[in-house]
Structure 1
Amino acid sequence: MRFVPKFLLSAMAPEHFPTAARTFDAPEVAFLGRSNVGKSSLINTLLGSKEAKVSSTPGRTRAINFFALHDGTSQKHSQKPSMIFADLPGYGYAKISKSISAEWPTFIEPYLQEREQLALCVCLVDTNIPPQESDTQLITALRQMQRPHIVVGTKADRLGGNQLTKSLAALRKAHGVERVLPVSSKTQDGVKPLWAEILGVLPE
């Protein structure tokens, strides 16, 4: 399936979230992770576009950015999107962590806890660094909220085979998960398996 992405809006308050009337209740897939983990790069790789703004400055994304994905297999794109991608602000970067964490309760936590359309959370963790407590806290919170989620290890191309195996094992153990899916926005390794997980949110 091929999708045509379109930027919808940026939201910094629950009242700014896309309405059901605008998105036709399309299932939403949220991308979460620490600042500079590579969220925007991965979203762009998945979409085959540059809809998500990539910055070398960690913490630049301060709002939830919503993107509508329309079925691109038909000649005339339907007004109804097949699904929505939500790019959430990063967390855990020392210089801006206080301001980011202050914003989380105001609109990010309500989104994760209350958003009916939210069908899957894609939790990104960096395979090149040791497991981070902030990532464990997020994954634990999603588990407590009973939100469907998968854990994806980014920048996997930077590690050799044995190094990557050890990193993934350490991440699985630290975060208490059975699987961490390695991906690389640079080489696109792991992108097809990730798409298969994402497409699972679509109604049959």
Structure 2
Amino acid sequence: MRLSPVFLLSATDVAHFPTEARTHGAPEIAFLGRSNVGKSSLINALLGSKEAHVSSTPGRTRAINFFALHEGAGEKKKVKPTLIFADLPGYGYAKISKSISSEWPTFIEPYLSERETLALGICLVDTNIPPQPSDTQLIHYFQQTQRPYLVVGTKADRLSNNVLAKSLAALKQAHEIEEILPVSAKTDAGTKALWGRLMAVAE
């Protein structure tokens, strides 16, 4: 099923989050990861469009950007969205991590802990680099708050099958998790499986 994305708004404060009147209470999927993990590229690959802004400078997303995904297109588009995507600011990039970190408690943490319509957090980890403590921190946050989450390994196309298998094993061990879904925004590998998980949330 093809979903057409509509940009809703950018929020830099709890008061800016979209109201139920805007979202019709549709389940929200939050995309989180370190700056430069390929978050915007993956969102665009899933949507088949250029809704999420891809920047060559890591850490450019400083707000939570909300996109409503509707069945159908044009006049046939259903009023209630099937899903809402929330693209969250990246973290862990040295030059801007302090300013981003200072913003987390003000509006990102309340979104993750208090947002009733948040149905799934997609924690993105880069399969091309060693496990990062900041990723472990995020995954543990979801575990402690008992929020549903899925860990997705990005840029999987850059590694051979053997190297990818070793990388995924190392990431699972470091982050103390049982599953990582490898994907590639470039080749679309794994995106179909990811869509399956997202649609299960919608249902």
TM-score using structure 2 length: 0.98
Deviations 1:38-83 (A, max 9, x none): 0000000000000000001000000000000000279611221111
- Contact preservation (8 Å) 1:30, 1:88: yes
Query: Which whole-Å CA distance do the structure 2 matches of 1:112 and 1:165 have between them?
Result: 30
Asked whether 1:45 is paired with 2:34, we answer: no
Match of 1:152 in 2: 152
Following TM superposition, the consecutive aligned residue runs of length 4 or more in structure 1 with deviations greater than 6 angstroms are: none
Query: Which whole-Å CA distance do the structure 2 matches of 1:191 and 1:100 have between them?
Result: 28
- Contact preservation (8 Å) 1:122, 1:150: yes
Query: Percent identity of the aligned residues?
Result: 72
Match of 2:121 in 1: 121
Q: Partner amino acid for 2:56?
A: S
Query: Which whole-Å CA distance do the structure 1 matches of 2:64 and 2:149 have between them?
Result: 18
2:124 match: secondary structure: strand
Asked whether 1:172 is paired with 2:172, we answer: yes
Query: Which whole-Å CA distance do the structure 2 matches of 1:146 and 1:2 have between them?
Result: 31
Which range moved further: 72-81 or 144-153?
72-81
Asked whether 1:60 is paired with 2:55, we answer: no
Show structure 1 runs of 5+ residues with no match. none
2:137 match: secondary structure: helix
- Contact preservation (8 Å) 1:139, 1:175: yes
Query: Which whole-Å CA distance do the structure 1 matches of 2:15 and 2:74 have between them?
Result: 33
Measured at CA, do residues 92 and 198 of structure 1 come closer, stay the same or move farther in structure 2, by a change above 3 Å?
A: same
Q: Partner amino acid for 1:82?
A: T
1:84 match: secondary structure: strand
Q: How many residues align?
A: 203
1:185 match: secondary structure: coil
Query: Which whole-Å CA distance do the structure 2 matches of 1:9 and 1:26 have between them?
Result: 15
Q: Partner amino acid for 1:98?
A: K
Q: Partner amino acid for 2:42?
A: L
Match of 1:201 in 2: 201
Q: Partner amino acid for 2:32?
A: L
Aligned Cα RMSD in Å? 1.0
2:202 match: secondary structure: coil
Query: Which whole-Å CA distance do the structure 2 matches of 1:196 and 1:75 have between them?
Result: 26
Query: Which whole-Å CA distance do the structure 1 matches of 2:22 and 2:167 have between them?
Result: 41
Q: Partner amino acid for 2:160?
A: G
Show structure 2 runs of 5+ residues with no match. none
- Contact preservation (8 Å) 2:4, 2:73: no
